[in-house]
Amino acid sequence: MLHSRSYLHPFPARMAPNIALEEIERFDAGSIIVDPMVGSGTVAMTAVAAGHQFYGFDLDPLAALIAQVSTSCLDYDRVRGLFETIIRQARLNSATPADLPWVEVEDETHKFIGFWFADKQKRALSGIAVELDRLHQSEPSKEVDALKIALSRIIVTKESKASLARDTSHSRPHRVAKTSDYDVFKGFEQSVTQMLQRHSKLKIDGNATIQRGDARKIDSIGDGFCDAIVSSPPYLNAIDYLRGHKLSLVWLGFTIPQIRQLRSMSVGAERATTKSVEMVSKVLAGFGDISNLAPRQKAMISRYAIDLHRLSKEAERILKPNGTALYVMGNSCLKGVYIDNASALANAAELVGLTLLDRSEREIPLGSRYLPTPKENNALASRMRKEIVLKFQKVAFSS
């Protein structure tokens, strides 16, 4: 069965909502399921719709916020009431740009905002952002979080709306204008209405806890905690999730240096500082012919291998004995070299003691692909159009 989902906010790499998701419905009712890289919450939404207990983590604060709001019951009247309060105050203050308390004297974020936003929109956004922050500081709630998502929906867009950029929702923002007539207040109001309509179509039967966190080290979860892990890790070199989200996050309490710090913790984001170790070469067996790649690319691949190993180790730690880990992975192409991300994950998982139960491949449905679909019709192109579902078990050994 193909699940249709009502999504609250654009996201560049959603998990295609079947196969792994159908698997979720087969777990015993009330199972504890974790997605350590929750993204915008496709797995989370399916798990709570099926009545499970769900825990999700993501480094990206916007992803965590979208997933949280998508899996929480909301008081719609309260959302509308808070919206009225915010908009009234922001309109009153819109003559001059309000100072964002989290930016204060930090120059890089000011410059960033000055580049991507025109004055009129900057004044309106800063008025709204300051009010959202004030409400959040005095009484944090799901309803305030929902309004943050509604605001972000007019920034992280394909065509430019509140910012001067287009393609922000595809993680590749580029500035296409120097001025804009966009009415932020009106756009925000429409966005709140649309978001609530979409939210009302969600089925929320279980409960979800979503936090910002690093999948490679989930401190808040104890050993042997969950029945299953269902996730889709980033592919090598595929998507820089924070590149587009930055435009929103600067209005939601984050500075550019803070976002840069988060980015450096993203799976496969940067080069490894360590020299190649034995573990790296074991993870990379079958990964692809990387021998002719430049040292810079090889270093990035080493870091990816180290990250996959850390992810797997953490997965093994938090799973109950006999628990299942299910991952959806696609392939990459780096400087013309075909990269088999799924093999690397399978190697990493087996190195930490997880047993591979099943590996299946399927064509990626049109429109669900994370990366541009290759036009050619050769063997490489056809492998790039597939995604791989890997199913592992933490086998319990009896003594």
In angstroms, rounded to a whole number, what is the distance separating the alpha carbons of residues 2 and 19?
Answer: 8
Provide, rounded to whole angstroms, the least separation between the CB of residue 11 and ligand SAM.
7
48 interacts with ligand SAM by CB under 6 A: no
Among 16, 34, 49, 59, binds ligand SAM (CB under 6 A): 59
Q: Which of positions 203-232 make contact with ligand SAM (CB under 6 A)?
A: 214-216, 231-232
Among 116, 241, 287, 327, binds ligand SAM (CB under 6 A): 241
70 interacts with ligand SAM by CB under 6 A: no
40 interacts with ligand SAM by CB under 6 A: yes
| Percent helix, percent strand, percent coil in the chain, to nearest 5 | 40, 15, 40
13 interacts with ligand SAM by CB under 6 A: yes
Provide, rounded to whole angstroms, the least separation between the CB of residue 4 and ligand SAM.
15
301 interacts with ligand SAM by CB under 6 A: no
Question: Half-sphere exposure of residue 205, counting CA atoms within 13 Å on the CB side?
Answer: 11
- Binding region for ligand SAM (CB under 6 A) out of 57-65, 92-100, 108-116, 119-127: 57-65
- Binding region for ligand SAM (CB under 6 A) out of 12-20, 26-34, 174-182, 384-392: 12-20
37 interacts with ligand SAM by CB under 6 A: yes
54 interacts with ligand SAM by CB under 6 A: no
Which CB, 62 or 354, lies closer to ligand SAM?
62
How far, in whole angstroms, is CA 332 from its chain's centroid? 18
Q: Report residue 369 as tokens.
A: 């692909």
188 interacts with ligand SAM by CB under 6 A: no
Among 31, 94, 266, 343, binds ligand SAM (CB under 6 A): 266
Which CB, 267 or 345, lies closer to ligand SAM?
267
Provide, rounded to whole angstroms, the least separation between the CB of residue 353 and ligand SAM.
21
Provide, rounded to whole angstroms, the least separation between the CB of residue 59 and ligand SAM.
4
Q: Which of positions 90-129 make contact with ligand SAM (CB under 6 A)?
A: none
323 interacts with ligand SAM by CB under 6 A: no
| Secondary structure of 308-363 as H, E, C letters | HHHHHHHHHHHEEEEEEEEEEEECEEECCEEECHHHHHHHHHHHCCCEEEEEEEEE
- Binding region for ligand SAM (CB under 6 A) out of 13-21, 123-131, 177-185, 278-286: 13-21
58 interacts with ligand SAM by CB under 6 A: yes
Cβ-contact 67, 262 below 8 angstroms: no
237 interacts with ligand SAM by CB under 6 A: no
Number of residues that bind ligand SAM (CB under 6 A): 26
265 interacts with ligand SAM by CB under 6 A: yes
In angstroms, rounded to a whole number, what is the distance separating the alpha carbons of residues 266 and 60?
Answer: 9
Tokens 């496709």 label which residue?
A: 42
E strand residue ranges, the chain: 32-35, 53-58, 165-166, 174-175, 207-212, 226-231, 319-330, 332-334, 337-339, 355-363, 386-393
In angstroms, rounded to a whole number, what is the distance separating the alpha carbons of residues 137 and 348?
Answer: 42
Bridge-based pairing state of the strands 355-363 and 386-393: antiparallel
Which CB, 119 or 205, lies closer to ligand SAM?
205
In angstroms, rounded to a whole number, what is the distance separating the alpha carbons of residues 136 and 177?
Answer: 33
- Binding region for ligand SAM (CB under 6 A) out of 53-61, 127-135, 172-180, 375-383: 53-61
Which CB, 71 or 255, lies closer to ligand SAM?
71
Which CB, 121 or 232, lies closer to ligand SAM?
232
Name the nearest CA neighbour of 38 among 256, 233, 329.
Answer: 233
- Binding region for ligand SAM (CB under 6 A) out of 8-16, 289-297, 332-340, 343-351: 8-16
312 interacts with ligand SAM by CB under 6 A: no
Residue 88 vs residues 23, 124, 131, 390: alpha-carbon distances, Å: 47, 11, 10, 51
Cβ-contact 128, 188 below 8 angstroms: yes
Name the nearest CA neighbour of 70 among 28, 103, 39.
Answer: 39
Q: Is 208 helix (H, G, I), strand (E, B) or coil?
A: strand
Element (H, E) at 12: none
What residues make contact with ligand SAM under the rule CB under 6 A?
13-15, 35-40, 42-43, 57-60, 63, 214-216, 231-232, 234, 241, 265-267
